[in-house]
Amino acid sequence: MKLSLIMPVYNESSTIREIVRKVMAVPLDIQLIIVDDASTDTTAQILRDEISSEFPQIMILAHPVNKGKAAAIRTALPHCTGEIITIQDGDLETEPNDLIHMTAPIRKGEASVVYGSRYLNPQEPHLYRSYQLGGRILSWTVNILYGQHITDEPACYKVFRAEILRSIKLDYDRFEFCPEVTAKVSKLGYKIKELPMNYYPRSFAEGKKLNWKDGLKAIWVLIRYRFTD
Ligand SMILES: Nc1nc2c(ncn2[C@@H]2O[C@H](COP(=O)(O)OP(=O)(O)OP(=O)(O)O)[C@@H](O)[C@H]2O)c(=O)[nH]1
Ligand SMILES: [Mg+2]
């Protein structure tokens, strides 16, 4: 089974080369689609001048203006040809080799939606306590509102059987992707399977963009879709 990876990137010039090389070294049948969201650093240049010649098989798409992570995912979705789709951030917070075990339940037909969990990893590798608490609150909210049993709702690795992600209409443009997709797969009746993942957190100085306002918004998105379509 082919795995399509959607990589939304915004100002990731310091990490893009390394993460792309790591992804392309994963021993799976991989299609990588990178969406540059009008980066203001040299990301676009690196993609055009270096990555496209080193890896001509990678599809590189670009937004003329910044639209957000979820908008970038929507741009890439029609181009995905794999039976499995996941989102791969353009930073180095995740370990792409984790996708081998994270896609296994889908390849074996045992699950349709698999999320990574940093809490099922015994090292619990978190940088900011506030993020840890925020992640817990989001997971509880999902479990209470949607009857799931998850520990790490905002985890970066979310793996889907392709037709499920394609069947979902995504309304939001930015970091609301995670709560929106969690709400909608839950409402479709899918049980989310969680597996441990590695995590190497970066700081805001290193380019982290998600903040506490995104956490509050995520809770609102979860509540909203519980009671409306
Ligand atoms: N396309 C697009 N991607 C973005 C934007 N902002 C951030 N990203 C990308 O989204 C990914 C996650 O951003 P981070 O700042 O690392 O956020 P995080 O705290 O790791 O949060 P998640 O990984 O989303 O749980 C990275 O690949 C970013 O480059 C944006 O405005 N547009
Ligand atoms: Mg990240």
As given in the structure block, the two tokens for residue 143 are 């479990």
Q: Which residues line ligand 1 (CB under 6 A)?
A: 8-10, 12, 35, 37, 66, 68-69, 72, 89-91, 93, 154, 156, 175, 208-210
**pLDDT confidence of residue 126:** 66
C-alpha span between 178 and 117 (Å, rounded)? 14
The residue that leads in pLDDT, 203 or 27, is 27
**156 and 87 in contact (C-beta within 8 Å)?**
yes
2-23 tens-digit pLDDT:
999 999 999 999 999 999 999 9
Does pLDDT of 57 surpass 90?
yes
Average pLDDT rounded to a whole number, residues 40-50: 98
The 3-state DSSP class for residue 123 equals coil
81-127 tens-digit pLDDT:
999 999 999 999 999 999 999 999 999 999 999 999 999 998 877 66
**pLDDT confidence of residue 98:** 98
As given in the structure block, the two tokens for residue 216 are 């509050």
How many angstroms is it from 22 CA to the middle of ligand 2? 15
How many angstroms is it from 6 CA to the middle of ligand 2? 14
Which residue in this structure is represented by tokens 């994270």?
Answer: 102
Q: What are phi and psi of 179, to 5 degrees?
A: -65, -35
**pLDDT confidence of residue 99:** 98
Ligand located closest to 115 CA: 1
Residue bearing the CA closest to ligand 1, atom 23? 156
Q: Find the angle CA(74)-CA(78)-CA(84) to the nearest 5 degrees.
A: 90
C-alpha span between 92 and 79 (Å, rounded)? 24
Residue bearing the CA closest to ligand 1, atom 31? 68
